[in-house]
Amino acid sequence: MKINKIYQGDCVKVINEKIDDNSINLIFADPPYNLSGSSLNLENNKTGGAYYKVNEKWDTFNYDDYVSFTKNWLKANHRILKDNGSLYISCTQHNIGEILVEARKLGFKLNNILTWYKLNAMPNITKRTYTHSTEFICWFVKGKKWIFNYEEVKVLNPNKTKSGENKQMRDFLDFIELPIVQGKERLRGKSGRALHPTQKPERLLELIIKASSNENDIVLDPFFGTGTTGYVAEKLKRKWIGIEKNLDYINIAKQRIKEKKYD
Ligand SMILES: C[S@@+](CC[C@H](N)C(=O)[O-])C[C@H]1O[C@@H](n2cnc3c(N)ncnc32)[C@H](O)[C@@H]1O
């Protein structure tokens, strides 16, 4: 298997063919959430519009297919994760149920469910439910010796006293407040449209990679998209492997990682 490389293809196939058993320290997976219903007009999708609506063919499954898909990619990732490794999975209320059930069947232990409160979430247009403003990141481990770099994570704590000290008992919560990616971090084409509807915040990946891996460890992302995981892994001196089906996204990720525009 090769490191610091993006493999093109279906992640289950690529993992089964190319990635060694028990070889990966940390996996961050941001799978399709199956949000893009058939009632949404996929032909006129508004990716990159004002609110980055997810309306993509790669995100459309019937229910049974979605359950099989979840089971298959989780199984493939379980095989390659080291016994002291961590698997973080990004999800929402739409797919958290399937993820929790299928991961438990494989023997993964759930350590935390992080809640990401999106400071600039989509407004509540229908006014028929509470406003959706959160996503979840489930942190699973395989064995008992998982890595958690508490001291490194502690300094990222936004909860400070007036004198700048970390607040006692609030060293780091399972609750993260961050905007949906915007400003210069958001990758855009010439027309100004976002290049990917679900680009994840670099700060989120920074937290996860610092917390659950060490320098030179291998971080794998089976749904690489714009390569946020590889970009941040490289910045934090980790090795990385990306897998992505879509060649356009691969080219965006390659360029981003090559440019190294770190703050
Ligand atoms: C939710 S997005 C990930 C976005 C990414 N975290 C980022 O920051 O840009 C999911 C990605 O998985 C890709 N994808 C969907 N099914 C896949 C599969 N079976 N194997 C590999 N990639 C897949 C899609 O093309 C899409 O880019």
Average pLDDT value over all residues in the chain: 89
Instruction: Tell me the CA distances in angstroms from 107 to 66, 81, 141, 222, one per residue in order.
Output: 20, 12, 9, 20
* Predicted model pTM: 0.92
Q: How far does the centroid of ligand 1 lie from the alpha carbon of residue 145, in Å?
A: 29
User: Confidence band (pLDDT; 50, 70, 90) for 192?
Assistant: confident
CB distance 200 to ligand 1 below 6 Å: yes
Atom 16 in ligand 1: which residue has the minimum CA distance?
Answer: 58
Residue 189 structure tokens: 């084409």
Percent of the chain with pLDDT over 90: 70
Structural domain spans, the chain: 5-259
Give mean pLDDT, residues 188-212: 93
Taking residue 36's Cβ as centre, other Cβ atoms within 10 Å add up to 20
Nearest residue to 253 via CA among 236, 237, 234, 263:
234
Which has the minimum average pLDDT: 183-187, 213-217, 247-251?
183-187
Tell me, in angstroms, the distance from the centre of ligand 1 to residue 159's CA.
33
Tokens of residue 92, six digits: 């929402």
State pLDDT tens for residues 142-191. Answer: 999 999 998 888 877 766 777 777 665 566 789 999 999 999 999 998 88
The pLDDT assigned to 147 comes to: 97
CA of 161 to the centre of ligand 1 (A): 39
Which of 244, 250, 252 maximizes ligand 1 atoms within 8 Å of its Cβ, making it the mutation to test the pocket?
A: 244
Q: What is the pLDDT of residue 22?
A: 97
Atom of ligand 1 nearest to the CA of 33: 1
Percentage of the chain modeled with pLDDT above 70: 89
Whether the predicted pLDDT of 69 surpasses 80: yes
Tell me what the mean pLDDT of segment 99-110 comes to: 98
Alpha helices in the chain (DSSP H): 11-18, 63-80, 96-105, 150-154, 202-212, 228-235, 247-259
Verify whether ligand 1 is closer than 6 Å to residue 196 (CB atom): yes
Which is more confidently placed, 220 or 47?
Answer: 220
**In the predicted structure, residue 258 carries a pLDDT above the cut 60:** yes
- The Å distance, Cα 151 to ligand 1 centre, comes to 32
**Any ligand 1 atom below 6 A from CB of 228:** yes
| pLDDT tens, position by position, 39-53 | 544 454 445 443 455
Residue 170, pLDDT score:
62
pLDDT at 177: 92
CA dist 220 and 194 (Å) reads 24
Phi and psi dihedrals of 240, rounded to 5?
Answer: -150, 160
The preferred substitution site among 185, 224, 251, 257 for testing ligand 1, maximizing ligand atoms within 8 Å of CB, is 224
* CA of 27 relative to ligand 1 center, distance in Å: 14
Cβ–ligand 1 distance for 226 under 6 Å, the answer: yes
Nearest residue to 118 via CA among 32, 188, 199: 199
Question: What does CATH list as the number for 5-259?
Answer: 3.40.50.150
Is 11 touching ligand 1 by the criterion CB < 6 Å? yes
Cβ neighbours of 173 (radius 10 Å): 14
Say which range, 45-54, 89-98, 167-176, 238-247, has the weakest mean pLDDT: 45-54
- Per-residue pLDDT at 172: 75
Bridge-based pairing state of the strands 109-118 and 134-141: antiparallel
pLDDT exceeds cutoff 50 at 212: yes
Two structure tokens written together for 222:
């089976």
Question: Can you state the angle between helices 63-80 and 96-105, rounded to 10 degrees?
Answer: 50
- Cβ of 243 closer than 6 Å to ligand 1, yes or no, is yes
Under a CB-based contact definition with an 8 Å cutoff, are residues 192 and 167 in contact?
A: no
Sheet holding 81-91, edge to edge: 5-8, 239-244, 218-221, 24-29, 81-91, 134-141, 109-118, 175-178
